C-alpha cells in the first residue's frame, strides 16, 4: 500500500510538473516596447488618461506601465526611453548602448526607425467615453466611434501621446 501511494504521489508530481510548462503558451506576444522621449511626461500622460500605473524600472532606458484593472489580462507596456530624441541625440545614444549586433548598432547610432513618435499602441479601457472626455477637456483630440462587430461591438478613439505615438483606446460594449 505504501509503495502504491508513493508511486501515485510521484506520478502526480510528474504530471503536475509536466503540466506547468503547458500553461504558458510557447508562441505569443510577450509584451511591447513603446518609444518615448521623456519618462516623467509619458507617465503623467498615461496615468492621467488611461487605467495604467507606473510599474517596475527595468534599467535606465526601460520602465513598465501596468494596468490598474484587477481583472486585466494586458501585459505591462514597457516605455523605452529613446536616447536619440533627447539632448545630445546620436552621440549620447552611441555611448549608452553596447552595440554587439546589427539591431543594437542601429539603436545606438540612431539609424533605427524605432523612434519616439513611431509607435501605435492599443489599450483596453473600462470607459472609453470617460477617457476621451478627459483628453478633450485638456485639448487633445479623441473622437469616440462605435464600431459594430459580429457579437459585441467596440467604442474606440485614436489620440496621440506627447511624443506623437498613436494610442488607440478600445472598450468592448454590448449591442
* DSSP secondary structure, the chain, as one string: -HHHHHHHHHHHHHHHHHHHHHHS-SSS---EEEEES-HHHHHHHHHHHSSEEEEEEEETTEEEEEE--TT--PPPEEEEE-TTTSTTHHHHHHHHS---SHHHHHHHTT-SS--TT--EEEEE-S-HHHHHHHHHHTT-----EEE--SSSEEEEEEEE-TTS-EEEEEEEE--
Supply the pLDDT for residue 4.
38
Q: Is the pLDDT higher at 145 or at 6?
A: 145
Taken in order of first residue, the domains within the chain and their CATH numbers are: 5-81+119-173 (3.10.180.10)
CA angle 43, 46, 51 (to 5 degrees): 125
Is residue 115 within 8 Å of 82, Cβ to Cβ?
A: yes
pLDDT tens, position by position, 6-25:
444 434 343 344 444 456 66
Supply the pLDDT for residue 1.
43
Share of the chain above pLDDT 70, in %: 71
Compute φ and ψ for 21, nearest 5 degrees.
-65, -30
> Rounded mean pLDDT of 111-120?
86
pLDDT of 155 above 60: yes
On average, the pLDDT of the chain sits at 77
Q: 59 - beta bridge partners? A: 62
Supply the pLDDT for residue 2.
45
Supply the pLDDT for residue 98.
65
Supply the pLDDT for residue 85.
82
Supply the pLDDT for residue 129.
94
Supply the pLDDT for residue 29.
66
Supply the pLDDT for residue 133.
96
> Rounded mean pLDDT of 148-174?
87
Which pTM value belongs to this model?
0.71
**What's the Cα-to-Cα distance from 129 to each of 24, 49, 56, 82, 118, rounded to whole Å?**
34, 11, 29, 31, 26
Residue with cell 506627447: 162
Residue with cell 500622460: 45
pLDDT of 80 above 60: yes
> Rounded mean pLDDT of 74-92?
71
Amino acid at each position: 500500500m505504501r509503495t502504491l501511494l508513493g508511486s501515485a504521489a510521484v506520478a502526480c508530481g510528474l504530471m503536475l510538473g509536466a503540466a506547468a510548462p503547458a500553461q504558458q503558451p510557447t508562441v505569443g506576444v510577450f509584451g511591447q516596447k513603446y518609444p518615448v522621449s521623456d519618462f516623467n511626461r509619458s507617465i503623467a500622460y498615461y496615468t492621467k488618461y488611461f487605467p495604467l500605473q507606473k510599474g517596475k524600472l527595468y534599467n535606465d532606458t526601460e520602465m513598465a506601465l501596468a494596468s490598474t484593472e484587477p481583472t486585466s489580462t494586458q501585459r505591462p507596456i514597457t516605455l523605452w526611453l529613446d536616447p536619440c530624441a533627447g539632448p545630445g541625440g546620436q552621440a549620447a545614444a552611441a555611448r549608452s548602448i553596447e552595440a554587439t549586433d546589427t539591431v543594437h548598432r542601429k539603436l545606438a547610432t540612431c539609424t533605427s526607425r524605432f523612434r519616439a513618435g513611431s509607435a501605435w499602441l492599443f489599450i483596453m479601457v473600462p470607459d472609453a467615453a470617460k477617457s476621451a472626455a478627459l483628453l478633450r477637456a485638456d485639448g487633445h483630440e479623441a473622437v469616440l466611434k462605435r464600431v459594430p462587430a459580429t457579437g459585441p461591438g467596440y467604442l474606440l478613439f485614436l489620440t496621440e501621446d506627447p511624443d506623437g505615438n498613436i494610442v488607440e483606446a478600445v472598450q468592448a460594449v454590448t449591442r
